[in-house]
Structure 1
């Protein structure tokens, strides 16, 4: 059996009980860069643990190689866990791995995790929905500006944006939002390493961030992983 397991946003205590129980019996675990390394406390002594982490500019294994490893160990009748940050199908390429396994006749089991898209803002006391400020939120990748600009076409006062993987395009994203008539005083927060001991929160406005120098944006890249949160519910903190 192959399991795609969500490891949550970073805090080891946000692993689900179901995830822990599966880790206890795993023969092989392929884990992501953002997974808390303390997961090994739940494993058998002889569990094979393979780091297949992918970070900006550094891929230990590309997606095709990861698929091949899953198939290799599945064919050996091992209990295989693909341990992914957050939850498998939210920006985790989980379904690409499902399709690769299904092509050889294996249907994996999906074990959802706590998604960082909502849990990280909550860890900083920022609600995704608050009736005083918003009725909806949208989660979007920020690493491809063409896709970002195609999807985010206009400003909605009562909608929040949760932008994943946007740290390396932070300045361009802010400039894009301003061009799309987002008010200059729209709150923006950079939420770094949420739920972990190294977490950090930077709260500002679109105008203030747009006026920052290059040094600020270089330092921001060093704080990854970052969730960029744009919206009026940040004011719920006040």
Structure 2
């Protein structure tokens, strides 16, 4: 029987949003390689002798490069029975999960994906912000914001019935907003900065695109302190205001 490595989604942060299946796998783990955004309260489910390895990557601070993480997964699988890669959110949404699966498969091991609750949906919902509301919109688009050139190549125009949900975009918010205004996104379109959603430290800040565009550098430096955060752009923010 081929040994299996588990890629497990730890959810957006709140411990109660960890799935039952994730808990069952964590309880069996001999080794856990975990991300920076994983709530370390999950370790209460571990065996006492479980080896926990922080391989977190945050902007400007990588404890391990992706290639090193891939190698560690394979090396630990050679010496331990149950190896778990614990990832923030869910493994295949902005988490390089497929790169890890490919490395594991190439090394001759099997993989099981245990889906988690994605921050792209759960964080807005934790602020009572609907992703789709028939009064305001019919669709939403999820995109990363860390590379402004890639962002520009994907987001080409404005549609008043679509929301943008931008992960990893706070450090680029100034460039993102300038670009959106240049392609005729309305100046009065609301933008929400949703910080640490689902956790006890959660907070929100709501502006219009024009308000953000007029801010100074001190404003943007303060926003960076709110990471991890999601940028939510769209008129559905008005729905949140109605029910909060």
TM-score normalised by length of structure 2? 0.96
Per-residue CA deviation, residues 196-238 of structure 1 (Å, 9 max, x unaligned), is: 0110100111001111111110011111001000001101022
**Which stretch shows the higher mean deviation, 68-77 or 162-171?**
68-77
Match of 1:76 in 2: 79
- C-alpha distance in structure 1 between counterparts of 2:106 and 2:56, whole Å: 24
- Which of 13, 17, 22 is 1:14 aligned to? 17
- C-alpha distance in structure 2 between counterparts of 1:53 and 1:197, whole Å: 21
Alpha-carbon RMSD across the aligned residues, in angstroms, is 0.7
- Which of 212, 219, 222 is 1:216 aligned to? 219
Instruction: Give 4+ residue runs of structure 1 displaced > 4 Å after superposition.
Output: none
- C-alpha distance in structure 1 between counterparts of 2:97 and 2:231, whole Å: 22
- Which of 114, 131, 140 is 1:137 aligned to? 140
Q: Number of residues paired by the alignment?
A: 238
Match of 1:194 in 2: 197
**1:173 and 2:176 correspond:** yes
Per-residue CA deviation, residues 147-171 of structure 1 (Å, 9 max, x unaligned), is: 1000000000000000000011010
Match of 2:110 in 1: 107
Shift of 1:73: 1.1
In structure 1, the residue corresponding to 2:110 is in which secondary structure? coil
- Which of 33, 45, 48 is 1:30 aligned to? 33
Unaligned runs of 5+ in 2: none
**1:118 and 2:125 correspond:** no
Shift of 1:2: 0.6
TM-score normalised by length of structure 1? 0.99
Shift of 1:77: 4.3
Shift of 1:78: 2.1
Following superposition of structure 1 onto structure 2, how do residues 157-168 of structure 1 map, counting pairs within 5 Å?
157-168=160-171
- C-alpha distance in structure 2 between counterparts of 1:106 and 1:38, whole Å: 29
Shift of 1:76: 1.9
Shift of 1:107: 2.2
Shift of 1:188: 0.4
- C-alpha distance in structure 1 between counterparts of 2:171 and 2:198, whole Å: 21
**1:206 and 2:209 correspond:** yes
